[in-house]
């Protein structure tokens, strides 16, 4: 077996691994990770390119991406699922031109989880990033109502929960002091009365909600959409 043949075989094998990885990440909703960033916008724009402007958009990380029946669960509200897995607040700002602003939504539901902590950001950096993100989004979508979902109590990332809970308090205060922003805190519903985690509401990784978890989360979001849809005459 010649060296040239072996090298060619290794190149083909490596290319196949990269292709399979890309397919896998797209399938599980984590195409926002690493070298596969950008595939998410192709998928989203292909799926929603023929939909009317002004619909409700869910914009966030993998707990949106993996919610395959989100549109059905949110009825009678007409929504679009623009979630892309692995996304951080920086990613959400980076892709907002493609995945958010161009759709001119009247209501946006935001959810960004602990990915920022996982990549090593400090609590202070997360505060600053969220302030920058929502300030930028409000400048581009001045007439929209923002529904901001709390960070979830993830059993699979229990070590980040104390900081995540602090971020939730920050988000509550931010929404309380800015117009057309609604904070939805799911903490009490997704934890035990004693403040413990509920792994039965998540898939095996302890990071993504299962059907039981979404059955709790979904009605909280729909209640916020009812509030948001009554926030002004343009949102009837």
The region of weakest confidence among 14-23, 75-84, 157-166, 226-235 is: 14-23
Q: Return the CATH number at 189.
A: 3.40.50.1110
Domain tally for the chain?
1
138-180 residue pLDDT tens: 999 999 999 999 999 999 999 999 999 999 999 999 999 999 9
Q: Is residue 173 one of the residues assigned to a domain? A: yes
Task: Give domain status of residue 236, yes or no.
Answer: no
What pLDDT was estimated at residue 36? 62
- Lowest pLDDT segment from 57-61, 111-115, 202-206, 208-212: 111-115
pTM of the prediction?
0.84
Q: What is the mean pLDDT of the chain?
A: 88
132, part of any domain: yes
Residue whose C-alpha is closest to residue 113's, from 80, 145, 157, 79 = 157
Range of the domain at 203: 3-231
Between 48-52, 57-61, 230-234, the lowest mean confidence (pLDDT) is in 230-234
pLDDT digits (tens, 9 = 90+) for 3-14: 566 566 566 555
Alpha helix (H) residue ranges in the chain: 3-28, 39-48, 62-65, 70-73, 89-94, 96-99, 115-118, 123-140, 161-176, 187-190, 211-229
In a domain, 40, yes or no: yes
pLDDT of residue 7: 66
- CB neighbours of residue 185 within 10 Å: 16
Asked whether 102 and 73 are in contact (CB, 8 A), the reply is no
């Amino acid at each position: 077996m010649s060296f040239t043949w072996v090298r060619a075989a290794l190149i083909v094998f490596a290319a196949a691994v990269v292709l399979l990885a890309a397919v896998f990440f797209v399938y599980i909703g984590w195409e926002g990770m690493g070298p596969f960033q950008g595939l998410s916008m192709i998928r989203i724009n292909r799926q929603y390119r023929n939909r009317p402007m002004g619909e409700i958009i869910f914009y966030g990380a993998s707990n949106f991406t993996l919610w395959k029946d989100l549109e059905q669960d949110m009825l009678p509200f007409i929504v679009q699922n623009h979630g892309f897995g692995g996304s951080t607040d920086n990613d959400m700002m980076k892709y907002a031109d493609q995945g958010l602003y161009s759709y001119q939504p009247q209501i946006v539901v935001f959810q960004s989880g602990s990915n920022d902590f996982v990549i090593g950001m400090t609590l202070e950096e997360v505060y600053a990033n969220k302030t920058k993100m929502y300030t930028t989004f409000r400048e581009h979508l001045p007439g929209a109502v923002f529904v901001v979902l709390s960070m979830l109590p993830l059993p699979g990332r229990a070590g980040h929960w104390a900081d995540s809970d602090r971020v939730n308090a920050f988000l509550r205060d931010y929404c309380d002091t800015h117009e057309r922003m609604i904070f939805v805190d799911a903490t009490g519903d997704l934890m035990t009365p004693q403040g413990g985690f509920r792994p039965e509401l998540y898939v095996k990784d302890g990071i993504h909600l299962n059907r039981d978890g979404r059955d709790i989360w979904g009605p909280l979001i729909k209640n916020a959409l009812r509030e948001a849809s009554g926030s002004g005459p343009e949102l009837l």
